[in-house]
């Protein structure tokens, strides 16, 4: 898991380790990843929730239409296989 390997917190992780998990699942799956629009709100959401990096892989890609490479507020910093880690820039 990301916290175990990096020592960093995650916004949405395992259900038993994430406060208010269901609400966060609905936000991420039902809004953030669902569409490719609403960029100002999505950028603000990341910043306001202290999200510094976004991990985007096959699972996230299947959820909706979100396209991280098209976002000026996300800069790719690492890629391995089908997974890319993006840094959030204000």
More confident residue, 69 or 12: 69
The pLDDT score that the predictor gives to residue 4 is: 63
The pLDDT score that the predictor gives to residue 82 is: 96
Q: Is the pTM above the cut of 0.85?
A: yes
Determine the Cα–Cα distance for residues 16 and 61; give it in Å rounded to an integer: 24
Cα dihedral 5/41/70/81 (nearest 10): 20
What angle (nearest 5°) sits at the alpha carbon of residue 36, between those of residues 39 and 75?
65
More confident residue, 62 or 15: 62
pLDDT digits (tens, 9 = 90+) for 2-31: 766 776 787 888 888 778 999 999 999 999
């Amino acid at each position: 898991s990301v916290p175990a390997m990096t020592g960093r917190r995650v916004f949405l992780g395992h259900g038993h380790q994430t406060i208010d998990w269901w609400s966060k699942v609905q936000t991420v799956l039902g809004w953030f990843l669902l569409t490719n629009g609403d960029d100002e709100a999505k950028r603000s959401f990341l910043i306001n929730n202290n999200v510094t990096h976004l991990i985007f892989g096959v699972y996230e890609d299947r959820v909706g239409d979100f396209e991280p490479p098209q976002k000026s507020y996300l800069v790719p910093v690492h890629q391995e296989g089908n997974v890319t880690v993006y840094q959030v820039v204000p």
